[in-house]
Amino acid sequence: MLLKTKLKSSDPLSAFQLLALCPALAITTTLSRSLAIVASFLISLTLSALLVSLLRKRIPTKLRVPVYLFVSAFSVTMVYLVMRAVFPLTVAALSVYLPVLAVSSVTVLCLETFSTVNRPGPAVLDALRTGVRFGGIMLCCGLVRELFGTGRLFADPAGGGGVRIFPAAPLSFLSHPAGALLMIAAAAALIQFVQVRREKKSGEDYETV
């Protein structure tokens, strides 16, 4: 019942919200990097949602956004320190894109629309749902960019190794930063198409009734 009611208050994924992924998508040149940034995003978002939900009754209305940014920065810093101790090469490969997660508009939107008005349980579930949704897009982006941009799969975060799938990269431009923008455009077009089809189907069902 919780998943059917409480989580419906989250805003659906829109093409506009995909623009928030631009900094993260820039680093998704390989599947391993994508997995690292997705794991970091999911953990930091969930921790931020939990903290904001626990503090929701103590956060002044006029200071909500600064508090969200502070909590998000704290969560990302914790993830960064742990990853740097355990996976130093991965953190080096992610460069500045890992700290950028602290000011992601996706995080602020999730905290503002749901975590600040719900208990910790539903807030954590909503954060996980949001993280998996956006993380899925980043993983797909990394898979396509690595496969068709380099002709390999499963390269390490530094870009070495991997399994050669194609003799040469079929679409080498996907491995460049502009390739991420093309992936965003493709994802936005797909989401828009699906939403239009759903609205059309809902309208037809309503007319039938």
List, for residues 73-126, the tens digit of each pLDDT value: 999 999 999 999 998 888 888 878 788 777 777 788 788 888 888 899 999 999
What is the torsion angle, in degrees rounded to the nearest 10, for the CA atoms of residue 139, residue 144, residue 149 and residue 153? 70
Per-residue pLDDT at 124: 93
Beta partners for residue 163, in sequence order: 153
Amino acid (1-letter code) at residue 208? T
Measuring CA to CA, how many Å separate 148 from each of 49, 69, 94, 152, 155? 36, 36, 21, 8, 13
What is the average per-residue pLDDT within 131-154? 85
CB 80 within 8 A of CB 90: no
Per-residue pLDDT at 19: 59
Collect all residues with Cβ–Cβ distance below 8 Å to 67 and sequence separation of at least 6: 52, 55, 59
